[in-house]
Structures are given as structure tokens and as C-alpha cells.
Amino acid sequence: MKSALLPWAIAMVLSALPVPWLGERGGGQTPAQFRIGFGAHDITPALGKKPVYLAGFGKNRLAKGIHDPLMARAIVLADGDKKIALASVDLVGLFFPVVEKIRGRLPGYAYVGVSSTHNHQGPDTLGLWGPNLFQSGVDPAYLKQVEDGVIAAVEQADRDLRGATAKIGLVQAPELLRDSREPQVKHDDLVVLQFDGVDGKKRGLVVQWNNHPEDLGDKNTQITGDLVWSTVAYLQEKHGCPVVYFTGTVGGLMTTLGMEIKDERGTPLKTGDFARTRRYGQLVGQAAEKALAQAKPVVLTPFLIQRRAIFLPLDNQFYLLARKLGVMEREAFRWNGDVWHAEPTTELKENQQLCLKTEIGRLRLGEVDVALIPGEIYPELVLGKVQDPPDPGADFPDAPIEPAIYAQLTAKYKMILGLANDEIGYIIPKRQWDVRAPFCYGRKRAQYGEENSVGPETAPLLCAAFRALAKGQ
């Protein structure tokens, strides 16, 4: 959170044309029809009446102006049988209960997913960045505005539903990431989907990239979508179609801060300067174009939807304190050791451990497999690159390696939406957890990360639950 979703969709379905693989299902069937629609709605907070606390770095950072509007962007996908809505919001994160409210207002969808880009230059939507330790930075009226904005974006995308074909491209762009925490493991897959109408015209792009939108740094006071703003602006202008950007794997920790970014003439650009963030967006956009240049047709139907609520024990003392102070509002459950079930609790008795309720998901859209992870997962856990052997300084060097998220996805193409339907903070491999001396890598102090994680059991429980979900257990 100091600094911090989505991939997937495509289709190959020409409603009017015979589609060979459908023929195998026997005669007389209506061909499954892939359709997609795009929508967007402004969710910029009003300035002037109430203070707007910017999220992501220190407390009490007040917004003084608006550089570019914050957006809720959405796609709706249909396979002829079911509809799926996926939205991306230019926010630091949304808690699960807010997403549940949005879902309650969008009946008629087999799945509604809301992923935050993890923007560090928008309003506090979690409660941690108010004026002081005792006051939340969240304006409940603004959360309602976000709810309404996401619904408006989804409804617009729904009205825009039309038959389309899809292609998918992927490039590795390690040069566009800095990993600010050891060990050095990056998730550098940039995934792009392009949708074309049956008339051959470009309908829209979906981009999934894995970085913290925090390029403007902790001194900025202008509301902006940060690097998502500049990436979307570049691609929209070049391609003349809607662009939806999803944030994927950002833990571990993926950032542009401390990275050199140069302009076209090779002059380094300064953090806090919009020219730098604009340039970074241009570079991501150009990488996306490289991916598109080699993109392949992809089939996005039929849809298989898997999701389950899970419970994770709350070990983080800072979060527990924030809860007690009423800064972080969220229903508590009593932890009983079962990741699948827990009872709500209002009063905490001695020695009772709390847990939170969140959700994991997997969407198999034809040849594209999408993991939906409710926080900032470390690349190690997505790609199966957990440190082995562990550093002897680690707090739990004997912890088993968690089952990797991408190893559970079986379709040809893989994508990940981070901060999906929730923001539970960092999801850290247990054997890389390091808050006690001696510290890993010979360091004198602990690295940044654990203070924004629910606890050391998060990754083992979540990754095992995801494996069970994907296997249909």
C-alpha cells in the first residue's frame, strides 16, 4: 500500500458465420456468440468542500488540484449464455464489502469483478491515510460516488455489447519495472487484448501490467491516475478506441520509484514531474503495441466461473489497532483455523484471533485463464519463483513453498487481476517473511512489506485455497 489488476478477454465469434468448433456439438444448436462492450465513468472527487486525503504514502497529504480525472473503466463480456462484468478503478483499493454492495446493484451477471489499479494519487478509500492516527481519510459520500460510478461504467459497457473477434499479445518488459525488495523477481509479462468489431473496426483494448501507480511520488498534491492515466491516454490517442487497464502482480515490490526514466533525447526526468509519468505511460503503451504487432487470434468462449469466499487470520498489529480506533472499518470474523468458514464476531475475548473475509476467483474464458487475487501478491507466488533455498535470516525458513497461482491455470494464455474485489495488502511467501533479526541478505534492518500484510499465514492459505478452487475441490 505504500506505494500499489486484470487480464484477460477475447473472442472469436462471428455470429453470422459458421464456426467450426461449434459444429462438433451437433446440429441445430445456436452458435455461442461472443460479445463485448466498453464503458467508462468519471469518479473524480469534488475539491473545495471537504478535504480529500491522498492515499498511498504518508498520512495527511491533501489534494490541491486535479490533473486528470479518475475513472471507473469496465468491460462486459457475453458468451451467449452468461455475462461477466469486469471493472477497473483508479483507486488505491476497495474493501470487499464495497464490492459486495456494487454486486448487489448489478443483478443479471454471472460474475462482477472490480479491481483497483492501486493508484497512489487518488483519495483514501481504505481509511489509512487520514489527518492522523485516529481519523480515517475516507469520505463515505465519496465511496457512494465510486459505487455509482462503477455501476454506470458497467451499464454503459452492457449497452455497448456487440459481436467481436479478439487477439492476444504478450511481451516481457523487465526494463519497465524496478523491484525494490529482495529477492529480485519481477512479473514482467505485459498482456494486451484487442477486440475488433465484425466490421473489422477496432472496438477496444485491454491491457494488463504489473506496477505500482505511484510514479509521481509522495510530494504530489494533484489528483491523477498516475501511470495508468498516461498509459491509457497514449493508447487511446494512438488507437482511437477505449482502453481498459488492469493492475496485476504488484507485490514484492514493483515500482517506478528509484528507476531512471529518460525522455526521447536521453535526458533523465524528475520524479514528481508529470512529464516523467507521461513518458513512462508512453513506454508502456509502446510495449503494448509491440505485443499487438505479434498478437494471435484467441477464442474467449465458453466462460467458466470459479470463486469462493475465504477467511484469513489477522495478525497485523497495526491493522488491529486501526480497527480498534475505527479508522479501518470492516466486519470481523472469529478465526478457527478453517480458511473456508468463520462466524462473525462483534466482541473480541481474550486470546481470540480475528480473521477477515475475502474472495478468490478464476475466470476461464475460452483460451484465456484469469486469476483474481484480492491484494498485492508477490511475483514469486504467481510464477513459482519463491526463494529456494530460503535465506537463513528468514523468520520461517522451513515454511513449504506455496503452490504457484499460474501453475493452477490450465488454458493457453494466463492473466492476473490484482487487488481484485478487495485490498488485503501484501501477499508474501512465508519463507520470505522477515521482521525479526537476523535479517535476510545480511541487512541491518527489515525490508518494507510486512507492515502492510495481514500476516505470515496469508500466502500459504490463499495459494492453497486457489489451488483447491482451480481444481474444483
Member of 1, 227, 288, 463 binding Zn ion (CB under 5 A): 1
Least CB distance to Zn ion at residue 300 (A): 30
Least CB distance to Zn ion at residue 431 (A): 21
120 versus 167: smaller Cβ distance to Zn ion: 120
Q: What are phi and psi of 385, to 5 degrees?
A: -125, 35
Least CB distance to Zn ion at residue 145 (A): 23
Interacting positions 330-349 with Zn ion (CB under 5 A): none
Q: What are phi and psi of 462, to 5 degrees?
A: -65, -45
What's the CA gap between 108 and 314, in Å, rounded?
A: 34
The cell numbers describing 333, all together, are: 470474523
Nearest residue to 254 via CA among 173, 190, 178: 178
227 versus 332: smaller Cβ distance to Zn ion: 227
Interacting positions 371-390 with Zn ion (CB under 5 A): 376
What's the CA gap between 118 and 420, in Å, rounded?
A: 10
Binding segment (CB under 5 A) for Zn ion, from list 3-11, 34-42, 278-286, 465-473: 3-11
214 versus 395: smaller Cβ distance to Zn ion: 214
Give the sign of the dihedral formed by CA 228, CA 231, CA 233, CA 239.
negative
Least CB distance to Zn ion at residue 1 (A): 4
The cell numbers describing 337, all together, are: 483455523
3 versus 282: smaller Cβ distance to Zn ion: 3
139 versus 376: smaller Cβ distance to Zn ion: 376
Least CB distance to Zn ion at residue 100 (A): 23
The cell numbers describing 231, all together, are: 498509459
What's the CA gap between 224 and 267, in Å, rounded?
A: 24
Preceding omega of 20 cis (within 30 degrees of 0) = no
Nearest residue to 231 via CA among 279, 195, 193, 271: 279
Least CB distance to Zn ion at residue 119 (A): 10
Cα separations (Å) of 221 from 42, 47, 53, 120, 262?
Answer: 19, 12, 9, 11, 23
Member of 4, 94, 232, 383 binding Zn ion (CB under 5 A): 4
Strand segments, DSSP code E, in 181-302 are 189-197, 202-209, 222-223, 243-247, 254-255, 296-297
Preceding omega of 177 cis (within 30 degrees of 0) = no
C-alpha R_g of the chain:
21
- CB neighbour list of residue 182: distance below 8 Å, 6 or more residues apart: 440, 441, 447
Binding segment (CB under 5 A) for Zn ion, from list 215-223, 263-271, 294-302, 368-376: 368-376
Q: What are phi and psi of 83, to 5 degrees?
A: -120, 140
Least CB distance to Zn ion at residue 214 (A): 8
188 versus 376: smaller Cβ distance to Zn ion: 376
Least CB distance to Zn ion at residue 371 (A): 18
Which residue of this chain has its Cβ atom nearest to Zn ion in the complex?
Answer: 4
Burial class (CB in 10 A: 0-12, 13-18, 19+), 410: exposed
136 versus 180: smaller Cβ distance to Zn ion: 180
The cell numbers describing 457, all together, are: 499465514
1 versus 77: smaller Cβ distance to Zn ion: 1
1 versus 428: smaller Cβ distance to Zn ion: 1
Neighbours of 441 (CB within 10 A): 11
Binding segment (CB under 5 A) for Zn ion, from list 11-19, 71-79, 313-321, 369-377: 369-377
1 versus 157: smaller Cβ distance to Zn ion: 1
Least CB distance to Zn ion at residue 448 (A): 10
Torsion angle of alpha carbons 436, 58, 377, 193, nearest 10°? -160
What's the CA gap between 383 and 375, in Å, rounded?
A: 16
DSSP code, position 49:
S
126 binds Zn ion (CB under 5 A): no
Least CB distance to Zn ion at residue 419 (A): 9
Task: Spell out, one character per residue from 235 to 274, where the chain touches Zn ion: x when CB under 5 A holds, - when not.
Answer: ----------------------------------------
Nearest residue to 117 via CA among 204, 170, 55: 55
Give the interface size with Zn ion as a residue count (CB under 5 A): 4
Neighbours of 354 (CB within 10 A): 19
124 versus 160: smaller Cβ distance to Zn ion: 124
Least CB distance to Zn ion at residue 2 (A): 6
Least CB distance to Zn ion at residue 89 (A): 15
Binding site for Zn ion (CB under 5 A): 1, 3-4, 376
